[in-house]
Structure 1
Amino acid sequence: MINGGKSFVSTPPAFSNDGKRLLVCSGNTVSVFSTSTSMQITELDGHKALVTSVVVVPSSSKLLCHCWTSSLDGTIRYWDFALSELMKTVNIRLPIFSMVIPKFPSQQDDGGGKPTDVFAYISVEDASDPGEKTKHLLGKIRKCNLTTSKLAAAVILKETARPEFITCSPSGEFFGIIIKRSLYIWKVQADESERALVKKMKLHHTKNFTTFAFHPNDNIIATGDVSGRICVWRGFGIRTFFKGNDQANANLMKIEDERAGVRGDNDVEACSTWHWHSSEVKFLAFSTDGANLYSGGNEGVLVQWQLDTGKRKFLPRIGSPLLYFVHSPDPTLSAMSCADNQIHFLKMPSFEILKPIAGIKLPCSFPEIWNGLSSGFTFDHSAGLIALPTDDYRIQFYSLLDDTEISEVQVCERNHQPSDDIMVVVSLVALSHDGSLMSTVESRLAEDGVGALVCLKIWASETQKKDFKLSTIVYEPHRDAAISAIVFHPRKRMVVSSSYGGDFKIWVQSNTTLGGVDGSSGWVCHSVGSYKGKSMTAATFSADGSILAVAAETVITLWDPDRNYLVDVVGETYMPIVNLNFVGKSEYIVSTSQGSRPELSLWCLSKRSRTWSYSLVVEAVACMEDDPLFAVLAVVSESYVPTESNGSSISSGDGIILLFNINSPVPVGTWLVRKAKGGGLAFLQVSQLSPLKKNHPFGRSSALLAYVDRDHEYVVFDPLGQQQLELNLDHKKAVENFEEAAQSGYASIYGELPDFDPKETRQSTITVSERPWETIFNGPSHTLPPLTKLCSTFLESLLEKRMAATG
């Protein structure tokens, strides 16, 4: 079983002490990437739930490659990430949502004395106290002794309605959390102990806080709020933490008016406000020298503020909302996490974007007005790829087997804009059987009833890198009607588009050559079809391409695609059909309907009748290419009451994968899955994936089943295997090793020779098998002994040996 598609941007990443590696929380693991190549080096696997934070032990403690991680599984783990080795586990038994470790021992105790304790401050969810449930205070900020592996029983710093994210200062002297319009700050004592008193102060604001950051050197805090404003609070905690004894903090900034810009009783010397962001501020980060402040938000623009003057510098057109910004020990390198599941490395101070860490793109955030116009994603079955539309009007090709991005195709040139201003979406994407052709549909929303536009584009690629080039653009291919489906002919250069306007069109390529696709050739409309003026809601080709099936609302129409005439009409459903699929090379077709009476039906074309049907809300259907099997992703309905199954609850939005054979309505296999609403299914052809078939335990199967949930996390498994095999290897490394170890010469003809071991050879010559006839004829013909020797040995093995009687 292969798992992938994890989010790289759920929490801030962390640099190693030498700046050559970046540690990223990715699902239940921590992925370690090289900052020079952006490739994954190793993985820290051990947590049983989502990893929520990673803290690298600073180099001052003489531990160059050690880190602490926390997780929702209630454990804190200590790692040597250079060796991918787990060194210690601290079990808190409470889900940990955030963790900071302000101070580390400056050096190890080499004299055999008692080591200095290391303390972590964690944000946990504790529902064990029934009284707290009534107060709705489930979140707690607690102190944990990592050296003794236990919580400080008497220390609960703060109780909150839900667990909050903790931010620590670079110096380790302060940490804090935000709760709506309040900012809580704690000061860590220099001689920290388990019962040491941690002082606290509070700042108030007129708007809800969204993020904040500590200055690396001075008592300055920068905060961002929901309106896009940034407040810089100077000289905080003079009365609370320093009691007026620290005169240096009182002179951080010369001001004419005492407590300029400060409202209420906030314990700060001065406050200044900056405003550039149009919506909430996502992150704030001071530069390592404290001279500049970096901010980012939904605009996809990195802003650099000069702290003394407020002057700005911009890095625009990043293409996605910004989430986090972290500095490297190398002052020329920083990392920036984006909402599209990418981490960009920045060369500082020039703001040059280097090669990013590109994960699978997260689902597009469409406004409600676009609901029903987007079909999600599609698959390249022969190459094991998924093609996903992205928020920046691109198509991402992602390898499900290697868990890495292959390429991106820019469908239309559009600058990134906030989600509430989306006027154009890539509503459909389809790939040909061999993956060399792609078709996309762009839909533009009308403004005041004017400007609505549907655009059909056809792309061609001549390489496996999926570097598609635009071949044809068709504006309004079905007048002003939206396109419901696009499907390619399995053998010819032909594509069909169906529309809700009541027709479908067959497009063919002009100037097609035997050697492939001419880059200058275009596509033209070959013919148009319709059926009684009904909306054409789905379409599909048979395995050999001889039949085109088009759903005309509640009936299935069958067409000859070459001559475009109606062959037959099959069946009728209660609700409009939204999906059609031929089952392999058989005469059966699967249809799904949605609405008030959802339905899954199997039709036999030779009998022109329905074989069987189920009342299911079906999200996706996948059919095997060579076998009469198909898989269905069914979603749990909203009215379904959650039940317990094998100790896990099933809630609305989850679902089940059903594997059917056309000969029986009883499923061959079933699998419970999470986040099925908005998910997808596909069979990947192992016969086309020669490296996988040779080196992979799935090579015995004709196809693998890939399930992608609504968050684009996925699993690839063998649906016909007797057991689920867990692969504990790096798939990217496996492919690289296969390419590096390509066979040649003798090995390419006769195979690899066995490893020679003299001890084993001597032992094998001494040991005689009791059943020699099972092995004497095995082996290549050029290595077998002469036939005369084989025959005598074989005959002797069949004879029963007796001891001769002696007189």
Structure 2
Amino acid sequence: MVAPGALRVVRCGGSALRGARAVFSADCKQVGRGYVLFASGDFVKVYSVNTEETVRLLGGHADLVTGMQLNPQNHMQLYSSSLDGTIKLWDFMDGIPIKTFTVGPKLLALYMFASAEDLVFVVIPKKGERDTFQLVSVKLTKGAGQDLEGKELSVVLNDVGASMKHIAFGREGTYVVSVKDVTLQVYFFKQKLLNRFSLSALKTKGGDNNFSCVVCHPVEDCIATGHADGKIRLWRNFHLREEYTYSTLHWHHDIVMDLAFSVEGTRLLSGGVESVLVQWHNESSCQKDFLPRLGSPIECISMASDGALCCTLHTDNRVSIINSNLRFSRSIQGLIKSRDVKTGLVVDPRTKALVLNGEPGHLQFYSLQSDQQLFSLDIVQRQYIHQAGLKQSDLVKVAFSAQGTWLATVEESEEVTDPELQLKLWFYSEEAQSFTLNTRINTPHDNHITDMCFRDMDELGEDSLILVTTGRDCVFKVWVMVEDTDPEAQQSVSWSCDFVGSYHNYQATNCCFSEDGSLLAVSFEETVTVWDSLTWDLKCTFCHPPGNIRNICFGRLTCSKYLIGATDYGFLCCWNLLTCALEWSAHLNVVVLQPDPLSEYIAAVSWLSKESSLFVFKPNKPQPTYIQRNLCKEKILLAAFVPRDEPEMISSEKYLWLRKSQLFFLTDTQELMTLSTKSLEERLTPSSKQLAVEESLPVTPFSLLLGKHRRQQAQEDIDLGKPVVHTKQEQASPAVKELLHTPAHVLPSASFLCTIFINSLLISKENKSAEEVADEVEMESEKAEDDSDEEDVTAMEQEDTSHMELLGEMTCKLSKSQEKELRKIRKMDYSWISAF
């Protein structure tokens, strides 16, 4: 258990949308009502088919979601399985978990059908045997509570495949089919009969009979299997072990990734690495249609229950929605997982989107809020050929200016000895709402470019914009903007080299500017050099052998006088720029060093003994502010601080480093994660956020007119001195909102709600204005004065009356009772006199 308020590692996006086959809602054909559900990491995402927006985020599983099925008894509910060993029942329209069934072992796939009431089928690891799995049935117990046990397990098939695509149920659950390697098993439930069929394991003439997927015909006794060599086999008469037959369909040149029958069974869909969806008619190889150029290999195919739509899940985290006539409808693009994220994690200052490698030769701009790709920018602008062994150009470096108006990219070929390099400068066009190419520089360095950064400060204007690149050719280069004198040039400015620096012929590896832009730090193997950015004079050098410098960064704000560096040999060093001396050092194998742009904090991620640990510190203090060991199971390769729109309210002092920015990191499996102090319930869409959508809707002209009239009337009352009565807004009451917006089928009884509703209508006495409070305090003081006046009245009567004779010569001193009466007169409203 995680203590309340503790920091949690959250899988926030980028998770594969192909963890399980997608599921369409039963009413997907209705306009505005169609939904498609995907497994994405620990969550189930509910997308609108029409708007492509994320409508709901179903979260509650503690591990990856592996299976989803609509409840056969209620199509507004969804069952989901997970590696955490639980099965959850959801009301996915409202995002409410209804039941949680704890099974125990890891659940790798989930199946169910209408005839097996209260029974679900799951794939689990076999006890005591490694990489061996079995299909079991689980009886879902009935009970009043929300957390129930699902311990009644019955083994159906042994030695099955772990993938959801390796098992299928036919003829409304009369039999189940399993494929693994070159063996096909068919188990008939009523007869309790198991038939096993095997193909040849020999790979002759390019053939490979290994099974890759299996589906069953919805009406007939027919099984379709996909194979590693691209063939599709249609099996019949499998009730008899010796008289089975199969026919073959062949178009795919490589493995068949998935298959799906249409609702009536007259069409068969297949997909593979060719990025082409093939539609086979009437089980004939002569009648087939194609939907090509879907972008990436097809991983899964799902069909809607009414046959109006189907969707394909792709290896690049894209979902394609396709009509029944095989016409492309729309797509949902998640975080593309490229082969290698060479650009690192970069934040776009304009959109606050994460920018990194996408499709080959492209930059993807990924929205953290919607977990979708905003757009993709073609940098290389060359056709990528999917063929092994070809040396092709790819994107390796990217940097933004501080305002996001300029983008610098570096592309290079895969040649090791003589790479083809290009440095491109892009300018953001407000008219085109995209980046346009401004300058292309061929061979900016004689060897691979290792790093680059902008110097961009608002107060210095355009002249301050400088780009620095470092390379393995042992130099760093300074690039500046110059006016283009060519009259035929379309651009008014371009970029050119202004300065070339080096240090003892060492390879330049990293570079960064100080916060004010006055200093440039460049690392040359084991040495860090500091240069004046105006004169390009070498100011000082720092060295902490052994090991080359892996990362460097300047401190910020109150820590701007420090320079931080990490070495290959596991040292984290902090140098003082004023004294030119080592301030402190720590023995830490830092693989990621990331400063927060809005605070003094710096995050360092270490990798030791197959464990990623996080250290957050300020350069002026050698003791870390926060330490999180065993951050995640995977190795963290990249990290980035993303500024928040508004500072977050954080109660704990040790988490203050997360107040202005949020830390995101990418693992070696390309899972995007973050750290959050909020609980799961707070992070998911609460009712207040759902109500905010309704409250943010545009008001009607009548409500605008009525609101204006009320404001004018209130202002007139204030001008006339009338007391303004502040009535309580019943609609703003949480109790009333809960009553009006909670789904009817989960509301408690009316007798229970009556008391809460009536109390919400009452005006609280605690909400008093400052004037009312002052009046009450004054009345209490007046009561005390009345008591003292009664005690002093006798003494006043016996007072000397000689002062009355001098009335015309001196100011009369009022008694306390007279002062009290005068205060009352001052408070009276005489504004009615102005009417005369």
**Coarse TM-score class (shorter-chain normalised):** 0.7 to 0.9
Distance in structure 2 (CA, Å) of the matches to 1:801 and 1:683:
67
Q: Is the 8 A contact 1:400 1:716 kept in 2?
A: no
Aligned partner letter, 1:658: F
Deviation at 1:578, TM superposition (A): 2.5
Alignment check: 8 A CA contact 1:124 1:163 kept: no
Task: Give the SS at the match of 1:48.
Answer: coil
Whether the 8 Å contact between 2:364 and 2:373 is mirrored in structure 1 is yes
The answer to whether the 8 A contact 1:291-1:308 is kept is no
Match of 2:642 in 1: 684
Q: Does the 8 A contact of 2:512 with 2:521 survive in 1?
A: yes
1:604 CA displacement: 1.2
Q: Which amino acid aligns with 1:440?
A: T
Aligned twin of 2:541:
569
Once the two structures are superposed, residues 190-236 of structure 1 have per-residue CA deviations (whole angstroms, 9 ceiling, x without a partner) of xxxxxx7354433424332222232333333333333x321323314
Question: Retained in 1: the 8 A contact 2:572–2:585?
Answer: yes
Residue matched to 1:669 = 626
Aligned to 1:224: 226
Which residue among 564, 568, 580 is the counterpart of 1:590? 564
Aligned to 2:270: 295
Deviations 1:451-472 (A, max 9, x none): x312222222245997222222
**Partner of 2:754 in structure 1?**
none
Moved more, 394-403 or 153-162: 153-162
Q: Deviations over 1:391-448 (max 9, x none)?
A: 332211122244333222122233362576563321122222222222222121239x
Q: Mapping of 1:774-789 within 5 angstroms?
A: 775=770
CA contact (8 A) 2:271 2:277 kept: yes
Task: Answer yes or no: is the 8 Å Cα contact 2:57–2:685 preserved in 1.
Answer: no
Report the AA paired with residue 445 of structure 1: E
**1:7 aligned to which of 5, 12, 16:** 16
Letter in 1 for 2:272: G
- When residues 504 and 314 of structure 1 are mapped into structure 2, their CA distance, relative to the original with a 3 A threshold, is farther
CA gap 1:85/1:376 in 2 versus in 1, 3 angstroms:
same
1:721-753 deviation line (CA, Å, top 9, x unaligned): 899994232799799679758999999xx9xx9
2:305 matches 1:329:
yes
1:237 is matched with: 238
Matching residue of 1:485: 451
**Runs of 5+ in structure 2 lacking a partner?**
1-7, 29-33, 143-148, 202-208, 458-463, 485-489, 716-725, 731-757, 795-836
Cα distance change, pair 314–797 in 1 and its aligned pair in 2 (3 A): farther
2:492, 2:185 → 1: CA distance?
A: 64
Shift of 1:504: 1.3
Which letter does structure 2 place at the counterpart of 1:325? I
8 Å contact from structure 2 (residues 102, 151) kept in 1: no
Higher mean C-alpha displacement, 152-161 vs 523-532: 152-161
- Asked if the contact 2:641/2:664 (under 8 Å) is kept, the reply is no
2:729 to 756, 762, 773: 756
1:51 maps to: 65
Matches within 5 A, 1:246-645: 268-272=244-248, 274-277=250-253, 279-306=254-281, 307-310=283-286, 312-352=288-328, 354-362=329-337, 364-366=338-340, 374-380=342-348, 383-413=351-381, 414-415=383-384, 417=386, 421=390, 423-446=392-415, 452-463=419-430, 467-479=434-446, 481-491=447-457, 492-511=464-483, 521-585=493-557, 586-594=560-568, 597-636=569-608, 640=609
Once the two structures are superposed, the pairs formed by residues 33-52 of structure 1 within 5 Å of their partners are 33-52=47-66
Closer, same or farther: CA 677–87 of 1 in aligned 2, 3 Å:
closer
Match of 1:140 among 134, 137, 149: 134
Distance 1:666 1:182, change over 3 A: same
Alpha-carbon shift at residue 474 of structure 1 (Å): 1.6
Using a 3 Å threshold, how does the CA distance of structure 1 residues 551 and 28 change in structure 2: closer, same or farther? same
- Other structure's SS at 1:384 match: coil
1:237–1:422 Cα change, 3 Å: farther
Alignment TM-score, normalising by the size of structure 1:
0.77
C-alpha distance in 2, partners of 1:562/1:27? 49
Q: 1 CA distance for matches of 2:198 and 2:546?
A: 61
Alignment CA distance shift 1:121-1:722 (3 Å): closer
RMSD: 4.0
Residues in 1 aligned to 2:75 and 2:339: alpha-carbon distance in whole angstroms = 41
Q: Find the aligned partners of 1:797 and 1:311 in 2 and give their Cα distance.
A: 100
Q: Which has a greater percent of helix?
A: 2
Q: What SS is found at the alignment partner of 2:330?
A: coil
In the alignment, which residue of structure 1 is the partner of 2:94?
Answer: 83
Q: 1:292 to 1:797 in 2, by over 3 A?
A: farther
Decide which moves more: 168-177 or 623-632: 168-177
Report the counterpart of residue 176 of structure 1 in structure 2: 177
Q: Does residue 71 of the first structure (1) align with residue 82 of the second (2)?
A: yes
Cα offset for 1:289? Answer: 4.2
**Per-residue Cα deviation, 1:362-398 (whole angstroms, up to 9, x for no partner):** 2x225xxxxxx92432223675321120133221112
Whole-angstrom distance in 1 between the partners of 2:680 and 2:169: 46
Three-state SS of the structure 2 residue aligned to 1:24 is strand
> Retained in 1: the 8 A contact 2:166–2:212?
no
Closer, same or farther: CA 729–204 of 1 in aligned 2, 3 Å:
same
Other structure's SS at 1:239 match: coil
How far, CA to CA, are the matches of 1:282 and 1:99 in structure 2? Answer: 19
Q: Using a 3 Å threshold, how does the CA distance of structure 1 residues 395 and 156 change in structure 2: closer, same or farther?
A: same
What is the alpha-carbon distance in structure 2 between the residues aligned to residue 797 and residue 542 of structure 1? 67
Q: Secondary structure at the match of 2:622?
A: strand
Aligned to 2:461: none
Distance 1:761 1:164, change over 3 A: closer
SS for the counterpart of 1:355 is strand
Q: Which runs of 5+ in 1 are unaligned?
A: 106-115, 190-195, 241-264, 367-372, 513-517, 641-651, 779-784
Structure with greater Cα Rg: 2
CA distance in 1, matches of 2:52, 2:303: 16
Counterpart residue identity of residue 589, structure 1:
L
Query: What secondary structure is seen at the aligned counterpart in 2 of 1:666?
Result: coil
